[in-house]
Each structure stands twice: as structure tokens, then as C-alpha cells.
Amino acid sequence: MKVLIVGGGGREHAIALSMKKSSRVDKLYCVPGNAGIAQIAECEPSIGVMEFDKVIAYAKEKAVDLVFVAPDDPLVGGLTDALEAEGFRVFGPRKNAAVLEGSKAFAKDLMKKYNIPTASYETFEDPEKALQYLETAKLPIVLKADGLALGKGVLICDTLEEAKAGVKEIMQDKHFGSAGNKMVIEEFMTGREVSVLAFVDGKTVRPMTSAQDHKRAKDGDQGLNTGGMGNFSPSPFYTEEVDDFCRKHIFQPTVDAMAAEGREFKGVIFFGLMLTPEGPKVLEYNARFGDPEAQVVLCRMKNDIMDVIDACIDGTLDRTELQFEDNAAVCVVLASEGYPVAYEKGFEITGLEHFEGKEDYYCFHAGSKFDSAGRIVTNGGRVLGITAKGENLKAARAKAYEAVEWVSFDNKYMRHDIGKAIDEA
Ligand code: AMP
Ligand code: GLY
């Protein structure tokens, strides 16, 4: 098979590596890709993920047998539909299903209608009404821009003043663009956060092993929300009991609800969960693999990823069981100093050769490229996802923090407490 992956971050590098292991894949392509993905796939850096016509033309030119659409923007924008209309076999939800991530108001209304546990909420299109509502709301309170906002459109407000400023930021100043045309205001929940990614074929849902993200930029969960500064898998807090509850009250009901709404979901659903004192509740849905969740989950999956992909597309996932290694993985993101706000790019990355031939160590490229002299240089806020597997979480963490020292680039920045929660388990 010839496979095209759409995307160019650490997640896509992890997906590419899983596909590379499959005996069924002869040739991998990736748009735009990055300097790491280029080691295992032919990349076309000039094609952006939102340039649907160019993606389709490239898929035709390479006569690919399958296209895997990985990032949120093209999924929510309908790249799956556009490719299918041209006769391609595609992994990733259609536009009418990707709305599960594309609109938080849609997701909240779905959960309310189908009794899926989540924080109570109200939706607003008029900022005046939102401000009025806040006057009597309980604090802290959570404001969410309705649409996609690079994982940054969520504000947790401790005071009424902050909340009012938040409404202005989201709905009037349009800090997150049109994502803020609508807004969800929801109850603040407390508890541990866990992510569970699941393969879905429209009817059947097969959860993968759990993971836990670190979204804030700085140690001790300080600083701004980012796309993710590191994570680990499995989460020791995602017990069998919690898993039973989630399968019964969250995972299957979500898939059934989407089908009942005529929005059959095929692809990966990312369940962002909070383990509250009243039980697990949904924080958010994503319509795709997480980044860096894919990095710590896929490296532990024993199945041939192509078999699972086929089962999702063909609706035969009920005949597939997922299998994961009985170990753990930790990913520490090496970012550019200043991420997620302002940072410089174009610094040479050295030491990458240390990963060659080392089992259980992975250097997933998130933001890298070749410069005109052919050197690998930084090209994003998140630069590398240094990942290691170990027999347990502590061992994996020690190995990941050993490997972060192997690579160097100017303005290298990381958190030092990825997986610290493991010590409390
Ligand atoms: P989201 O993009 O919806 O996952 O939100 C980003 C982060 O904000 C989450 O990972 C949580 O840490 C936090 N968050 C979102 N919603 C809530 C909530 N209702 N209560 C408490 N924290 C929340
Ligand atoms: N790491 C969180 C996400 O991919 O949305």
C-alpha cells in the first residue's frame, strides 16, 4: 500500500512510525511533514494541510491507496469529504462528525441530550447575555470559545472581573477569531485529568490505553495553556473501575449519540476526562489523535495499525481487539523558549544521531525542517517529543529525562516535572 499522511507534527511522526512497522505499507508520503518524518516518508513541505486542492492533487499524483488525515483543522474543514468525493479511501471523520471537536456548543448539547456526564453549562451568542449570566454564576467559572483555537480557547476565571474580561476577549475582541462567535460558560470541575483515545468505526468503539497530558507551559502546572508539554501512558489513576464506567456511560453512548444524530463517527475520538469526586466527566472531545498522546500510546500498541485503520473504515472493528504492551511510556516535549506566545526559529538541532539504533527511545519531530544548507533546524514552538518506554512509569520517565540531554538547540525549553503525578499514585 501507498499511504499519505496529512499533518506535520510529532503526532504525525508517531503515526508514520507505526505505519512503517506494518508489512502492508510499501511507501509513505506526508504533507507537509517535517525533517524527522522525512527519514521514513517522502514529504512535500510546500503543501499546507488546509490547501485541499493541493493535497488532492498530490494524492492523485502519487496514486495513494489511503489518506490519513491527522490534524483538527482539515478534519473540521471537511478534507475527508473532499478526498472521498475524489474516490480516495480516507481515515478520519467526515465534517459532520468532526464537529464533535469543531464546536464545543455542539459537543455540550450532545452530551446533555444523551445524558453523558459533563460539567453543567450555558451557551451564548450575545456577549451582553453572557455578562448578565456571570453576575450570579458560581466562581471559579470556565469560559470556552466555541470553535477551534489551537487548544488555547479555554479561560478559567477565579473572579467576576476576570470572567467579564474573558467574555470581552473571546466574544468582542475576537482573540480566538471566529472561534469566539459563540461561547460556552461552564461549571468548574476538580479532579485528575486523563485522556483516552479510542478507535471508532461508526458503531463499535475500541479504547486505547490511557494517557495523561501536561497542558501548562511551566513546571508545577503554571503558565499558559499549550498544545501539550509532555505526557505519560498509562495513567495510574485510570483504574479498571473507572474504565468500566467510562465505556458504559461515556464512550459507547457518545458513539451511539453521533450515529443517532446521523453523524456516524469513523476515526479516533479523544476523550478528555476529569475524574471528579462524582465520577468521570467529559472535559472535551477531539476528533483525532492527540499530540503528544499519539506518541506515548502508539509506541505501546501491538496491533498492526493498518488492520485497525481498515476495520474503522470498513465498519468491522467489532472483530478487532486492541493489544498494548504491559509497560509505560513518557514523552517530554522540547520546545522553543517563549512558546506558546513568541519564539525564534531556525536554530540547528544537534545530537539526533544518539537515538539511532536505541530501542525504547524515540525522538519524534514536532517542529523541524531542513534549512537551505541541509541542516536540521527548529521550526516551531514544540520542536521535539523525546519519548522513552520502560517497564513502568518511573523507569520510562528516568529514560526520557536521560534522553532529553542528548539533543541540543538554542533556546531549548522543557518542563522538568512531566510524570511527577506518578509519585502520588
Ligand atoms: P479543554 O480544551 O476543553 O480540554 O480545556 C483545556 C483545559 O482547561 C483542560 O485540560 C482543563 O485543565 C481545563 N478545563 C476545561 N474545562 C474545565 C472545567 N469545566 N473545569 C475545570 N477545568 C477545566
Ligand atoms: N495534547 C492535547 C491535544 O492534542 O489536543
- pLDDT single digits (tens) 61-105: 999 999 999 999 999 999 999 999 999 999 999 999 999 999 999
What ranges in 188-324 are assigned the alpha helix state H?
240-246, 252-260, 293-298, 305-314
| The three grid cell numbers given for residue 311, joined into one nine-digit string | 476495520
| 36 CA to centre of ligand 1 in angstroms | 31
Give the residue from 142, 168, 85, 384 showing the smallest Cα distance to 283: 142
Q: At what angle do helices 160-167 and 127-134 cross, to 10 degrees?
A: 170
What are the residues whose beta carbons fall under 8 Å from the beta carbon of 339, sequence distance 6 or more?
217, 226, 381, 382, 413
pLDDT band at 151; cut points 50, 70, 90: confident
Local confidence band at 423 (pLDDT 50, 70, 90 cut-offs) = confident
The three cell numbers locating residue 345: 526559529
Side-chain half-sphere CA neighbours of 413 within 13 A: 18
* From 291, 296, 331, 418, mutation site for ligand 2 pocket: most ligand atoms within 8 A of C-beta: 291
pTM: 0.96
Retrieve residue 391's grid coordinates. Answer: 517497564
For residues 381-395, give the mean pLDDT: 97
Q: What is the pLDDT of residues 220-279, one digit of tens each?
A: 999 988 889 999 999 999 999 999 999 999 999 999 999 999 999 999 999 999 999 999
pLDDT computed for residue 1 by the predictor = 96
- Residue 280 preceded by cis peptide, ω within 30: no
Using alpha carbons, list the distances in angstroms from residue 117 to 189, 336, 400.
12, 37, 35
Mean pLDDT score, 24-44:
98
Ligand 1, pocket residues at CB < 6 Å: 119, 142, 151, 154, 156, 186-189, 193, 215, 225, 272, 283-284
Cis upstream peptide for 127 (omega within 30°): no
